[in-house]
Structure 1
Amino acid sequence: MTPPPAAGELLRRHLGDRRFLLMLPRAVGLQVLHPAIASALVEHSPTRLWEHKKRAVSQMIYLACASHDTAAAIRFAHEHIKGHDDRGHRYHALHPGTFLFQHATYVDTLMTAAEVFGPPLTGETRAQLYDQCCRWYRSYGISDRGLPETWPEFVAYFADACATNLRMTPAATELATQVLRPDAWIVRRLPAGAVRAMQHERAAELYDLAPRSGDAAALRVVALATRAGFTAAPRRLRVVAQAR
């Protein structure tokens, strides 16, 4: 059975918003702390972290907003990504648990971007957006047995996954500087303090980020400037090309 197009209007609006891209250090910070994902990034990506993410996330947005079955493209792009992590455990990019966690980091970041940059979500629109995120995940053709059905179930799943599945590995150590000081794409313009402030609390713990009084202020300044700029910007500057 061919899955339906992933993106409902609400998901298309938020996923295609450039402000989602500005929050990506949050998702990537968590991904790098997952042993399988970190090993795959080091062993299989021929480019630096943010050059890889520019290509991968742009393709992700395009596929999420596509009107055709994208499962074959997902399998083709990930089938060869396999190996062993630092403890000798085998990994594969299409393993349902690994794939779900990576997807979940983008869902968490999507919701956080709305909180930080706007437009704000109500309880109703958050539930609707999460429902569309579930449709997005199912469009990949990966087993959805572990997929939380509701937003509260997702919050519980994500908290547990971050608490139990993440750790600082040699691969994570190798990538940490690039996570916290992006050197390419739209995120390279972010102040280091804003990047630190947007990290998930579990990532901040594992990266040993000492609280700094200026970090939250730096993120607030970025948010205020971004809101002001988006008010006057034309659509082509507010919406990524892959969503248009």
Structure 2
Amino acid sequence: MSIRAAARRPWCSLLTRRFSSSSSAAVDSLILRSLKDHYHEISRMTPPPKVNPPSPFSIVKGALDRDGPVLCGAYKDEEISISVMRLSNIVPPGADDGDDSINQLFLHVDVSKPSRAESLHFLCGLYPDALGIHSVCLRPKVDPNAASASSKSKAVSKYQGRVFQELDQKLRDAFHIFIEARGVNEKLFPFLQAWLYVKDHRNLMRWFKSVGTFINEQKSA
């Protein structure tokens, strides 16, 4: 390895020197101690105050333990479902977004009718004080518990309509009124922000525990 290459990866040579003469058991013990310390540190973090979702939404059962819709609700004969993710889960690592990665959420909002095989899908950006629409399209209804790869590919390959910002201003305003009438607005932010914290906290705790279990079983073997 050249000097320049070594400088780019100083931790490689450092770890090699530190552990080249160490036994596998000692390395496993070091990992387990570190995982345990982090686990206890995270477990002592104070969760945010409990926030209930605003009307007309309720929490989808089991949403904390899987990907998919977080909230569901109804408007007249329509069903509404909302999935959420943070901007920080979308932008490339190291991108300079300031507080946007924390204070901007992305919502996938599906509005469906019993008589229709398609749902009206909105991709929205949600801030503490505002909600903006990025795109609107019709796509086949997808059952999150039994979605096939073919149905997903059909939803992606179908014509998605014009870019939202290229639509007439009156039409864009009308779409905002449409989803706001169904309860999709900035009032969702406090609940979804707190919900994501709890989900991330639970996933991190589960990760520390599952990796520790794997290392411990390997050590015992």
Report the TM-score range of the alignment, normalised by the length of the smaller protein: under 0.3
- Counting helix residues as a fraction of each chain, which structure ranks higher? 1
Q: TM-score, normalised by structure 2?
A: 0.25
- Counting strand residues as a fraction of each chain, which structure ranks higher? 2
Structure ranking higher on relative contact order (CA contacts 8 Å, 6+ apart): 1
Pick the structure with greater CA Rg.
2
